[in-house]
Amino acid sequence: MFKKLSTLLRDNRSFLLFISLMLVFRSAVADWNTVPTGSMLPTIVEGDRILVNKMAYDIRVPFTHIPLVKLADPTRGDIIVFDSKKADKKLIKRVIAVPGDTVMMRDNRLYLNGKPLVYTSQALSAYAPANVTEWQEELFGIVHSIRLNPQPSQLANFGPVTVPDNQYLALGDNRDNSADSRVIGFVPRDEIVGRSSSVVFSLDYNDYYLPRPERMMRAL
């Protein structure tokens, strides 16, 4: 039995080495994640596969959250992927406030360090239902789109709160339909595994999982 196993491993060592290196790469360097929900609409659509740069902030021991070298900290506007202990799952949200920032929301409009963010109405994006509105939100020079329901949810107001050290306030772009820092609290720095800035490819869940060519390699 041992001899057969040894022979099998020897005959397939190149393939096993490839698999091992690929797993290490996906764990510590870069990976792609499926987006199953609409909490980041209109920026990220259900069915998108987003590229995650796992070396954006830290070099970590593969298959762990143990940092070896700190490269950078998340900044406002970053789309982060993190393993939330409170939600007990991996989440994708946008960093709105960093340590030391004071932030509040009134009727879905954000105020950061006492200054209101600038909002500009925009045309509805593709796949958007007719009963929502979409706006451009300017986050101290970072412009991105958000989606609002006709009637604000209970999440439309909070704060003011000040972000503690080594924590971040992160929200979904689909503001009335996102379980984010308004639900799970601040995001600890050590739960953040990477940053996403592009869609690799996308499958349309409502159309027999057909690819969406217009979203391939789309910047976020």
Q: How many whole angstroms separate alpha carbon 47 and alpha carbon 188?
A: 27
R_g of the chain, CA atoms, integer Å: 20
The catalytic residue among 39, 178, 181, 196 is: 39
Is residue 86 among the annotated active site residues? no
| Active-site annotation holder among 54, 84, 93, 178 | 93
| Gap between the Cα atoms of 155 and 182, Å rounded | 7
Burial class (CB in 10 A: 0-12, 13-18, 19+), 215: buried
Is 197 annotated as catalytic? Answer: no
Q: What separation in angstroms does the CA of 48 have from each of 116, 119, 190?
A: 31, 26, 25
Under 8 Å between Cβ of 136 and 122: yes
What are the tokens at 86?
């409170």
Q: Which active-site residues does the annotation give?
A: 39, 93
